[in-house]
Amino acid sequence: MCAEHNGKRFAEQLVEVGMQIGWPTRLVSFGPDITAAVFAAGFAIRVGFTFGGIGPGEYRKHLIYNKDRCFAFAMPLGYVTDEWYANALGCVNFGFPVIADTPIPEILPTGVCTYEHVVSNVPHDKIVAKAVEVRGLKVTVAEVPVPVAYGPAFEGERVRGEDIYLECGGGRTPMVEWVTSKRMEEVEDGKIEVIGPEMTDVPAGSKLPMAIAVEVAGREMQEDYEPILERQIHHFINYSQGLMHIGQRDIAWLRIGKQAAEKGFKLSHIGSLLHAKLHQDFGRIFDKMQVRIYTEEDKVKEIVEKARAVYGARDARIEGMTDETTDIYYSCTLCQSFAPSHVCCISPERTGLCGSYNWMDCKAAYEINPTGPNQPVEKGECLDAKLGQWKGVNEFIYKASRQKIDHYNFYSIVYDPMTTCGCCECIAAVLPLCNGIMTVNREYTGETPCGMKFTTLAGTIGGGLSTPGFVGHGKYNTCQRKFIVGDGGIKRMVWMPKMLKEEIAERLKARAEEVGVPDLPDMIADETIGVTEEEILPFLQEKGHPALSMEPILG
Ligand code: SF4
């Protein structure tokens, strides 16, 4: 602190309003004149001497050290004289930006400082956040502010029927999770809003629709990073004792247990824990984040629509890339907390079975966190081009599954298919009588021709096993060119729920044309035709479904 305003020193102004000053509060007055600002700069130089080991006379090193390591800024409050401005520019020379509350000339291009040099006319209620932003400070929240125990130990914990206080999603109500990036001024760091009923407004055993909308902003933030942040929501919520989270995107499913509710857990805490954890683990790529949690049906449906458009655009980025064009695939072991031997291996033409991670996303995730769950996998020698098996991949999954799985095929459901975890968007199953396969999406709760509903299928094969005859896959993957191509590809598809067929209609039509069976979508049976093999077979025969004339699927 230095200088005065209308004859009253900075320190005197603070004392007058009862504020404690001095070293304990780090509010230290250096003198009544603006020239005393030099003492603060003198302190900064000592930092370089003491901690940086920089010697006398090495002015360039001192200035660079201060710019990179000493997170200081100058904040002229009130009328800025020419002399003040000159002193402020002296600070800029150290790499310390100037944040003013009056309309002094701004110097916005970057160069000497990390970001802008002089930012002015900032209202007082925004000035702290602005200083943090312009100086490039990173927010870290050391403790996750939730009233329940929190940590990876609670991941994988189940909340069962009679223990449920609140349930959202899982096919019972709509639920969606969406991370999107915004401009810096559109995001207020740490702002958490619950729009609609809170936990405390509903009795135990309730169901609510839910949209978790996370908005982030940052100078390093890229659209490519959004899915990576979004996928963390699953894990970070699961770290809370008494909460269970499954799925992602618009098929998420959340249960909050009665014990968590008794301890005071509320929906707003989901925002708080996401704010804390995402800052802790991904603060390098964004600077600010706010969270809105909607529990009103109309609003949730609106977010679902918006998010779906974005999911579509994200998925489409991978179009055009083929597995042959890259030597590197990416692993994903995020789901090992639920399915310990499960290792997804993601190639351009086989997106993650949860639907949230494609090859591009994994590549971006690896860039952000080189020691994280998405590692590059050199596919190495091709052992089976038809079924999709590579030596390098096998070696990787053997290690990553802790010696549980030593190989799998990317393009087959019949012969050693890829492992499946409980997050999958769809599960495909062989239908021997129809000489084809069916697939069922998580949202469809009815019976299927393989004799099992989605939940039973997920419970049976979703533990990280490779189960011949069954495989988990993403919705998008259904129309990718390599989808079970080792067993005959999309021409084997004989049944899928109507809702799924409608959802992927456009891409299914294009893929059907590509394989020379343009009428395929109309030949695929759904629940309106039947839910047993016997019921759908006559329909397939009548339509002349190509699967019926293909070689036997079970060899
Ligand atoms: Fe990763 Fe696979 Fe889990 Fe998706 S399902 S998060 S790709 S391990």
Any residues with CB less than 8 A from the CB of 410 and at least 6 apart, and which?
323, 345, 347, 350, 387, 388, 389, 418, 482
The rounded Å distance from CA 339 to ligand 1 centre is: 10
Q: For 299-367, give the secondary structure using H, E and C.
A: HHHHHHHHHHHHHHHHHHCCCCCCHHHCCEEEEECHHHHCCCCCCEEEECCECCCCCCCCHHHHHHHHH
Tokens, residue 56: 């006398």
Instruction: For ligand 1, atom 3, name the residue with the nearest CA.
Output: 335
- Confidence band for 6, pLDDT divided at 50, 70 and 90: confident
* 353 ligand 1 Cβ < 6 A: yes
Instruction: For ligand 1, atom 7, name the residue with the nearest CA.
Output: 352
Instruction: For ligand 1, atom 5, name the residue with the nearest CA.
Output: 354
What value does the mean pLDDT take over residues 339-345?
89
| pLDDT at position 523 | 97
| pLDDT at position 192 | 97
- Confidence band for 298, pLDDT divided at 50, 70 and 90: very high
Alpha carbons 121 and 118: distance in angstroms, whole number: 10
Q: What is the mean pLDDT of the chain?
A: 93
* 427 ligand 1 Cβ < 6 A: no
Beta sheet of 206-207, edge-to-edge order: 206-207, 164-169, 253-257, 243-246
Asked if residue 226 has pLDDT above 80, the reply is: yes
| pLDDT at position 184 | 92
pLDDT digits (tens, 9 = 90+) for 381-422: 999 999 999 999 999 999 999 899 999 999 999 999 999 988
* 352 ligand 1 Cβ < 6 A: yes
Alpha carbons 309 and 204: distance in angstroms, whole number: 34
| pLDDT at position 261 | 97
Tokens, residue 44: 């900064």
pLDDT digits (tens, 9 = 90+) for 452-492: 999 999 989 988 889 999 999 999 999 999 999 999 999 99
Which atom of ligand 1 is closest in space to residue 423's alpha carbon?
5
| pLDDT at position 356 | 85
* 300 ligand 1 Cβ < 6 A: no
Asked if residue 2 has pLDDT above 80, the reply is: yes
Asked if residue 187 has pLDDT above 90, the reply is: yes
- Confidence band for 139, pLDDT divided at 50, 70 and 90: confident
Which atom of ligand 1 is closest in space to residue 231's alpha carbon?
6
| pLDDT at position 131 | 93
Asked if residue 140 has pLDDT above 90, the reply is: no
Q: What's the pTM?
A: 0.74
* 332 ligand 1 Cβ < 6 A: yes
| pLDDT at position 364 | 87
- Confidence band for 443, pLDDT divided at 50, 70 and 90: confident
The rounded Å distance from CA 421 to ligand 1 centre is: 8
Alpha carbons 520 and 341: distance in angstroms, whole number: 36
Output 340 or 437, whichever has higher pLDDT: 437
The rounded Å distance from CA 333 to ligand 1 centre is: 6
Instruction: For ligand 1, atom 1, name the residue with the nearest CA.
Output: 332
Asked if residue 338 has pLDDT above 80, the reply is: no
The rounded Å distance from CA 465 to ligand 1 centre is: 14
Any residues with CB less than 8 A from the CB of 554 and at least 6 apart, and which?
414, 430, 432
User: Looking at the DSSP assignment, which residues form a beta bridge with residue 438?
Assistant: 429, 495
pLDDT digits (tens, 9 = 90+) for 16-35: 999 999 888 889 999 999 99
Instruction: Label residues 418-436 b or e (16+ Cβ within 10 Å = b).
Output: bbbbbbbbbbbbbbeebbb
Any residues with CB less than 8 A from the CB of 133 and at least 6 apart, and which?
115, 184, 287, 288
What value does the mean pLDDT take over residues 52-70?
92
* 241 ligand 1 Cβ < 6 A: no
Asked if residue 323 has pLDDT above 80, the reply is: yes
The rounded Å distance from CA 39 to ligand 1 centre is: 55
Alpha carbons 510 and 353: distance in angstroms, whole number: 21
For the chain, helix (H) and strand (E) counts, in that order, are: 16, 23
* 426 ligand 1 Cβ < 6 A: no
- Confidence band for 512, pLDDT divided at 50, 70 and 90: very high
User: Looking at the DSSP assignment, which residues form a beta bridge with residue 267?
Assistant: none
Which atom of ligand 1 is closest in space to residue 374's alpha carbon?
1
Query: Quick one: DSSP state of residue 86?
Result: H
* 334 ligand 1 Cβ < 6 A: yes
